[in-house]
A = this chain, B = another copy of it.
Amino acid sequence: MSALLRRSISPPNLAAPRAVLAVIAGGRREDDELAAMQAIGATLHVAKNAALFQEGDASEHVYKVVSGAVRTCRMLMDGRRQIADFFLPGDFFGLDWQATHCFTAEALTDTVVISYPRRQLEALAERTPPIHRVLMSMLCKGLAATQEHVVMLGRQTAHERLAWFLIRVRERSGGTNEIDVPMSRQDIADYLGLTIETVSRGISEFKRRRYISAVGAHQFRLTGPVALQALASGEAVA
């Protein structure tokens, strides 16, 4: 558990090129309505393992992932770590608007995000109901996702957790069976409430059962998505 994760963000790059702004607009879902947000967003480059914000920091920005990936996590004093969520390109995070952040946000890999100042975003939302509605909807989705996480952590076995994770990543990447898994085994373990060894064994087991096969360093092919889905939802499997 190295403590070198100091805030080492590269310069804010306030003069973001047009090309980048185009990418921002072309996000995922109801982003059409968020076009007005472009104006107040600033591009930010974050190095691998660098923190975007730390637990306890005043929460002054909302972020959107452009490329790369981000994790939000909590560290216990004896080194135990729990990852609350991962954020992939198109995802927003940091909109849990308490006074201060209760989790740390770190980049999984070199990552580009857009940061929206909270003050300005609040003002914008106040006079643009569609934006307010979209923010509300994103909050609700976040809450729902976290509640799913709770069910998984509270009541699923190691194999079920892993299947759940893989299926979830697939959904988030558009439902293709070829999935990118930018997180390390340690990250996966800390997200699923397991150890790195258990995750590794699980993956090996899934390969043996032909549920998945490795296609690259951080890429899998789901060869038995139905079996995985069944496992993920807590059914018995033959």
Contacts and interface: CB of A to CB of B under 8 A. Distances in A.
Contacts of A98: 140-141, 144
Given A84-B150, A139-B140, A146-B143, A76 B155 contact: yes
Contacts of A235: 77-78
A81 B155 contact: yes
Contacts of A207: none
Given A150-B153, A153-B154, A234 B140 contact: no
Interface in A127-163: 129, 132, 135-137, 139-144, 146-151, 153-155
Interface in A204-238: 233-236
B97 A236 contact: no
A126 interface: yes
A193 B153 contact: yes
A47 to B, nearest CB: 25
A142 B142 CA distance: 11
A80 interface: yes
Contacts of A132: 132
B151 A234 contact: no
Nearest to A146: B146
A216 B236 CA distance: 42
A33 interface: no
Most buried by B among A82, A84, A129, A147: A147
Interface string A81-92: 110100000000
A124 interface: no
